[in-house]
Structure 1
Amino acid sequence: MSKEKLLAIVDGNNIAMRAHFAFKKHNFTSNDGVPTGALFGTIIQHINIVKHIDPTHLVWFFDAGKSRERTAELESYKGNRENQPSEVYHQFDLIDKFLSIAGVRHYREHGVEADDLIAKAVKSWGDIAKVIITGDHDMRQLVSDSPKVSVLQPISAKVDPVIWNTAKVVSEYGVPPEKLPEVWSICGDSSDNIKGVPRIGPKGASKIIQKYGDISNALIQEEKLRGHADLIEKNFRLIYLDGSFASLPISLNDCVFNKDMYDKKFMYDFLDKYSINSIKTKVHTVGIY
């Protein structure tokens, strides 16, 4: 009997940045001094995904600069973030090489963020069950019961996996996943430098949406939102993920994954070159590859 189809979608930038900061203190480098902390953590995450999720389809998406569309809408979009550390930037080529050797489809699109590529895949790749691996809260708006879409926070050996399904989203936010953009359009999103309505936080915004059902009714009836319609509507355009900002020329069939279809010599040569011998041992002993 063939196993049920499952698509794992990985937010590559989120994983790489988390890996960089997690391993920064260890100062991982290759023998010739190339920083490898982000690469190391990314490979560990890939191994965990294959081991614990065992997807039939797998794709990693990456940012290629800030969103062209959102920056045109809001010049200060993500303006509060520091530039990506140079030692991480140079490791993306290495991450690409590893994924290619491992037989994993990976993709980026100029002026498009991984968020939008993920949303495009979720919305357009049919009813296959999907799990999104990311630590980014924005992705929780894509959670769904039908078709089944969940969000899995990056897997760690130290903590139990955190899975965001519809029930968890409702429990945490008070509204279903598809209403999260409406909540955030009121309270803003500080992580992306999107300002909300003054003196209304996430809990207050959630209560407003719960009370009125949707943002349109809330704008008509809620006194606290009077005079803020333009701000809220702009925020919604910035926050809502429907995949329309991405073209995504690859298909679901391009993302079929077979953990055994790779060149072992290329893999081991790559890990040797960048002095990641502990991972080579892990790859061999866990029997993933």
Structure 2
Amino acid sequence: MASCCECDSCSGCGSSLLSLLHPSDHCFDDFISPMINFVFFEDPRTVTELRPIFVNHWIPNTIGNNIPAGGSAQLYAAQFRVALTDRLSLIATKDGYIVDNSNGALDTLLDDGWADVSAGLKYNLIRDPFKGRIVSAGFTYELPVGSTSALQAQGDGEFNMFITGGQRLLDGNAHILSSVGYRLPADTSIQSSAIHWSNHLDVKLTDTVYVFTELAWWHWTDDASRGSNLGVAGADLFNLRSNDVVGNDLVTQNIGMRYKPSSHLETGIAYEFPLTGFKDITNSRLMIDMIFRY
């Protein structure tokens, strides 16, 4: 159990607060943060943190409508979250720099460049430290400020509305997290719309080491009417101009491990792979992150 679970609010469990900077909710310190679908799978806790991220993303040799591809792309990014009150937090979930090492026809479309920037708010709706239960809801808006060379800034931005929750199991030795959201572009003629559902299960091996597995499901609900017949949309990092992805389903799974020596630091590594015949642009993915939490 977390050390502050006796109190109703953990705002007084740390040092004195800065004017607009609240410490993380340490009543749920036995939880760890999810890694799959990292732009959209939001931690339900109210936290103040900096999270550097590295992603190596391998691309299938053929994507969509038999388009030659292959190779890889890398992302160097950093998320941050700031607790504004005990329940309300500012979240920045997408940014960074994309490095293109793709092959085939995709190499003619994708090049190095900056990612778009996503930011929004998250509010804690249910918080029960005694039962280990927490639920939050929120939204982000992706500003189209990235590099068009990196297939960013494709439209007028997009919204993501989500609800996310977690439950402590086995007296804090296991946890489940689940999040569902809807991705809605401001200009639906340029970008596609999709539902995403992400799930996490972890088990504590020692006081500092966790193993976990996660599943992410994407279902595209609307095409970009002014797009081309790529047959792929891009999932979390991209939202490509494709007019033939409606009805597609992509399910991926990862396996990973986290090391959490204290409530202020954790690092993780995860390997992700598709479970469906439709892979979109994901052949596999390796992700590494580190979280510095206040």
Instruction: Indicate the TM-score class for this superposition, using the shorter chain for normalisation.
Output: under 0.3
Structure with more strand by fraction: 2
TM value normalised by structure 2: 0.23
Structure with more helix by fraction: 1
TM value normalised by structure 1: 0.23
Higher Cα Rg, which structure: 1
Higher RCO (Cα < 8 Å, 6 or more apart):
1
